[in-house]
Amino acid sequence: AQTVTQSQPEMSVQEAETVTLSCTYDTSESDYYLFWYKQPPSRQMILVIRQEAYKQQNATENRFSVNFQKAAKSFSLKISDSQLGDAAMYFCAYLNAGNMLTFGGGTRLMVKP
Amino acid sequence: DAGVIQSPRHEVTEMGQEVTLRCKPISGHNSLFWYRQTMMRGLELLIYFNNNVPIDDSGMPEDRFSAKMPNASFSTLKIQPSEPRDSAVYFCASSTKQETQYFGPGTRLLVL
């Protein structure tokens, strides 16, 4: 079974600054997908970014980018030019070959004005 | 396009009552998932359907929980009888195989 670990329960960042959220995972599979989801106070789970393991190029979506290190089984999320609306819980997730998601415990991001 | 639709959004019930949660997946998605989120256990997969067939229900807590998917556009998660420890946010998500899962808004369940 896969495990996903987010070692930072809470992070804070100054508005307009950059922050990196960490995620590591454990797997014996070679083909899989990784995701970051955002959960604001509304509780809605919102997809932030997705990475296919077979792609060497790191995914980017506007101010959000990842640092995917397959050998190290590391998948960190970088948020540039942080905005107040970025404040939320962020979950790292692993999708296995059986089409099932495993989530990390989450990181609460606070953005200071 | 409409996203995943869940109802009700909030449910308050008394211990021992039957609770039914409903989900309409995104049209064209053939995989449907039920998750439960609690402070203690985080996000847990309860059951996974593919083409309306349950593929993995190992996350279903016990016999009090049951899930059905009678057709491609509707699924239910039923708890009977409900207990206070079932209080949680229940999410439904859908996807095509090996693709991004899109989540509904969740149902916040409180069992008194």
- Read off the pLDDT of residues A49-92 as tens digits, 9 standing for 90 and up: 999 999 889 999 999 999 999 999 999 999 999 999 999 999 99
Cα separation, B5 vs B1, in Å, equals 11
Which of A96, A101, A102, A108 should be substituted to probe chain B, the one whose Cβ sees the most B Cβ atoms within 10 Å?
A101
Residues 6+ apart with CB under 8 A from B109: B11, B13, B19, B21, B79, B82, B86, B87, B88, B89, B90
Cα separation, A99 vs B53, in Å, equals 14
> For residue B1, what pLDDT is reported?
63
Q: Tell me if chain A has a CB within 8 Å of the CB of B91.
A: yes
Cα separation, B70 vs B89, in Å, equals 23
A-B contacts (CB, under 8 Å): 46
Residues β-bridged to residue A89 = A39, A108
DSSP state of B96: S
Q: Do B105 and A43 touch (CB under 8 A)?
A: yes
Q: Which tens digits make up the pLDDT trace of B83-96?
A: 999 999 999 999 98
Q: Tell me if chain A has a CB within 8 Å of the CB of B96.
A: no
> For residue B78, what pLDDT is reported?
97
Q: Which tens digits make up the pLDDT trace of B6-53?
A: 999 999 999 999 999 999 999 999 999 999 999 999 999 999 999 999
Instruction: Report yes or no: B106 and B89 within 8 Å, Cβ to Cβ.
Output: yes
> For residue A99, what pLDDT is reported?
87
Chain B residue with minimum CA distance to A35: B100
Average pLDDT of span A38-55:
94
Cα separation, B93 vs A29, in Å, equals 24
Residue A107 C-alpha, separation from nearest chain B C-alpha, in angstroms: 12
Q: Do B103 and A100 touch (CB under 8 A)?
A: no
B79-101: buried (b, 16+ CB within 10 Å) or exposed (e) per residue? beebeeebbbbbbbbbbeeeeeb
Contacts of A45 in chain B (CB under 8 A): 91, 93, 103, 106
Q: Which tens digits make up the pLDDT trace of B44-94?
A: 999 999 999 999 999 998 889 999 999 999 999 999 999 999 999 999 999
Please report which confidence band the pLDDT of residue A2 belongs to, taking 50, 70 and 90 as the band edges: confident
